[in-house]
Amino acid sequence: MKKALFSALALLLVLCLSFVGLGGLVLAQEGDPVVCLDSLGPGTVLELKPGDSWYMWVGLFHLSIDGKLHDGWCVDPDMPIDVGWCFNASLLEQPRETPWCEIGYIMANYSPSSDNESAAIQLAIWKYVAGGKNEITTIDPYVESRACEIFDDAEGKCLPELQWVAKIHPTDNHNEEEIQETVILLTKPPVGGDARPVDKLAVLAPWIGLAVLLVAGGMVWLRLRQRGA
């Protein structure tokens, strides 16, 4: 009886300690974050082709995701977005393959240091999204030439394992208008949610208290039995 009691108590303590080891991180599942286009960064309005030419903003976006600032780029030029729009969106990790490898490489290795450079970065990203250098072009000779240079440099290249391209996919609309998708760079992608620290002591306190009570109760019981014997 004594051996069985102590075995049970030891098992309980082992389970508590195991929970300590496993309880350092939990995956927090939350709803879609709120994304806002706070302002436009460097860039310019360009005339784009092929087909019937059209004009649109070509450059960097300053985005906030649940209040945290990010540099973003458009990957969906056929859809609208405007400064001040806020919407819920999911962050989708893109596969390590063309065109996302090259797009991530461009985002990580080219700096939007001027309006023309920023426009060239955005145009190079669109060329990869569209599937080729000639699938989307601009009549601006400098930006077109620079975008092609960036496109060629990025071909076949990818990001380090710790970096990933996150596509911001809107899960609602703005006044019944669909919203364009954008991309940002992130590091160490979460698996199923954001890893958050847990207060181990707060979680384990009831179990530790129970274990202490069982040990104390077992000792009292043994002493009473010894006296009765």
The reported pLDDT for the residue numbered 23 is: 35
| Average pLDDT of the segment spanning 146-156 | 98
DSSP, residue by residue, 170-181: ESS-BTTB----
Residue ranges per structural domain of the chain: 2-24+199-228, 34-195
First-residue to last-residue Cα distance in the chain: 15
Q: Which two tokens stand for residue 79?
A: 């859809």
Q: Which residue has the higher pLDDT, 108 or 51?
A: 108
Lowest-pLDDT range of 26-30, 55-59, 80-84, 160-164? 26-30
Give 15's pLDDT tier (boundaries 50, 70, 90).
very low
Query: Which pLDDT band, with edges at 50, 70 and 90, does 25 fall under?
Result: very low
Instruction: Check the CA dihedral 158-57-137-50 and report its sign.
Output: positive
Q: Which pLDDT belongs to residue 212?
A: 67
SS3 of residue 189 by DSSP: coil
Q: What is the pLDDT of residues 117-143, one digit of tens each?
A: 999 999 999 999 999 999 999 999 999
Q: Where are the beta strands (DSSP E) in 98-226?
A: 137-138, 163-170, 182-187, 194-197
DSSP string, 112-132: --SHHHHHHHHHHHHHHHHTS
- Residue 162: the pLDDT is 86
Confidence of residue 108 (pLDDT cuts 50, 70, 90): very high
* pLDDT mean across residues, the chain: 81
pLDDT in the model for residue 50: 85
Strands 54-65, 34-49: pairing kind: antiparallel
For 171-213, write each residue's pLDDT tens digit.
988 777 889 999 999 987 455 544 333 344 444 456 566 766 7
Inter-residue contact 182 to 73 (CB < 8 Å): yes
| Percent over 90 (pLDDT), the chain | 60
- Neighbour tally for 164: CB within 10 Å: 20
> How far is residue 52's CA from residue 139's CA, in Å, rounded to a whole number?
12
Query: Which pLDDT value is given to residue 53?
Result: 87
- In this prediction, residue 219 has a pLDDT band, given cuts at 50, 70 and 90, of confident
What pLDDT does residue 11 have? 45
pLDDT at 176: 73
Contact 62, 41 (CB under 8 A): yes
